[in-house]
Structure 1
Amino acid sequence: MSRLGEEEWIRAARAGSAPAFARLVGAHQSAVRAFLRRTLSGGWGEADDVAQETFVSAWQALPRLRDDQGFRAWLLGIAWRRAQDRIRQARRGAARDQAWLEMTPAVDGASPADRLAVRQALADLPPDVRASVALCLADGWSHAEAAQALGLPLGTVKSHVARGRARLLVALGGCDDA
């Protein structure tokens, strides 16, 4: 792509042409995604999400672009700021999760290895089963309360709790009598 062609696309996009901006995205998306994949540790999906945010921000900020020849650097600057936002967001989330784990009372007599095994077994459960187990076994909710909160039939919650309990027992080296 010639520099002149890109500058024409920038001018047209600045004037509101979505097709011209789509050409700019097509010309630069590989570089933006590659940069974000190297910068973020969350994998390709996270990098692609941040790239999408980058292009939306660029479209909105395009009228403020001062140097058409510096479009690529400007675009990667937006990507870098979006990546920094995502990294800060992940750190805050990890800090909240850690604080929650520290506030959660440890099960009496459970070794750190057992707690880790339970945590991994919970992580391996399907989300609706994990939610049922968390509410009924960890938080002491009745099956009916969990069914109402989760919007699931009562029988489904009961079977989810039974299956989840069995998988947790197996994870802890117990026998699955079910």
Structure 2
Amino acid sequence: MEPSDIELVTLAKAAQDERAFAALVRRHQARLRAFLIRLCGNPHLADDIAQETFMKAHTGLSGFKGGGSFRSWLYAIAYREFLQDARKTKAAARLEDALKENAAARKADRHEAGPLEAGMSLDLRRALAGLDAMERATILLCDAAGFSHTEAASVLSTPLGSVKTYVARARDKMRAALSAEPPTAKESSLPTPANGKHYAL
């Protein structure tokens, strides 16, 4: 039976056991990276943030007191690192544009993206791109990464009620975006008269 996160943290803190922390990295890195890819839209930036997250977690492990899950604590570090990068480089707006313009090119990166990223359709990427930063963060945590609303609130340092609102709003926006059907080639080629109806063929 594999040791729990708390048991590994205890080993890493008490015995300075690098193998214990390495086991924590292996356990969480794929899903954390997938979360960050969806959050920022750039696999290379996600790798940088993930690496910085694990470095901060390693050096600050004594700050984890066990009041919540290690996973929530780790994702909170990752989200703070993302915000810090966004503030420094205005990456949020720049990557939002990149997500819309280069979605097809990034599709090739799916096989490297981990279990949450794999299989994400172009329509889903576009729907995520239509959300604001907090809507995207909350729905990725709750619907993709499996966090509870309470855990997501802890990760994002946001009131529980606000998280629930963001998630509900994000789901509504994504449902609308994914259910919208583009006009067929036949329909789009027809002129639209003043009465709003297509001409019959």
TM score, norm. by length of structure 2: 0.42
The structure with the larger Rg is 1
Considering Cα pairs closer than 8 Å and 6+ residues apart, tell me whether 1 or 2 has the greater RCO: 2
Bigger fraction of residues in helix: 1
